[in-house]
Amino acid sequence: MKKIGILIMVFGLFLVAQNVFAAGFNQFGYNDTARIFNGTGSSWCLGGGQAAGCMGAYSNDKLIMKWNEAWDLCNDNGYDDPAYCAGAWTSNEWNGKVKGGSGEVWHYKMIWVGSQGEDSPYWKEGGYSIWGNYEVLMDQGTSGGEHIWFAHAKPTGYGAH
């Protein structure tokens, strides 16, 4: 009886381990459970059903994306309902300082603001509009050895809206 109990316990741990692995990263670099993507521009392209080179010079760059539950809910329920979208954010970090990469490094922070754009109560001064219902709070990086800021909303943090 003791051996059966140990076997059941070990098998149970095996099942737990399988579930953790199943919830991990897929072949393209997505971990939807953790809401993170860790891959390249090329693997992002392939994960979306596009050609591997769809990002052009940025296809070999490393890419880390993070997003919150509200981002998923907003994508699933249309892009203009504050009940789902308020508080939605994503972050994209590009590193082209890799073999065959673009040589550039960029970091973007984006939030949902709704279709009102700059008239939205969620809008932060210093950002710019993207994809109709979103604002880029921060867009900064290096290119050609120069540090460049294209957007720096104040405040830049996600919890500030």
Residue 9, pLDDT score:
41
Give the residue, 59 or 158, on which the prediction is more confident: 59
Q: Report residue 8's pLDDT band, with 50, 70 and 90 as the boundaries.
A: very low
Residue 141, pLDDT score:
98
The answer on pLDDT for 15 being more than 70 is no
Residue 121: is the preceding peptide bond cis (ω within 30°)? no
Query: What is the arithmetic mean of pLDDT over 107-133?
Result: 95
Residues 48-102: pLDDT tens digits? 999 999 999 999 999 999 999 999 999 999 989 999 999 999 999 999 999 999 9
Residue 121 is assigned to a structural domain of this protein: yes
Of the listed ranges 15-19, 78-82, 137-141, the least confidently predicted one is: 15-19
Residue 7 is assigned to a structural domain of this protein: no
Domain count for the chain: 1
Residue 16 is assigned to a structural domain of this protein: no
Residue 51 is assigned to a structural domain of this protein: yes
- In this prediction the pTM is 0.81
Whether 119 and 109 have beta carbons less than 8 Å apart is answered as no
Residue 6, pLDDT score:
43
CA distance 74 to 80: 8
Residue 61, pLDDT score:
98
- 92-124: b or e for each residue (b if 16 or more CB lie within 10 Å)? bbbbbeeeebbebbbebbbbbbbeeeeebebbb
Q: Which two tokens stand for residue 1?
A: 């009886």
CA 68 to chain centre: 8
Residue 18 is assigned to a structural domain of this protein: no
Nearest to 63 by CA among 71, 72, 54: 54
Residue 72 is assigned to a structural domain of this protein: yes
Residue 10 is assigned to a structural domain of this protein: no
Q: Which domain holds residue 78?
A: 27-160
Residue 1 is assigned to a structural domain of this protein: no
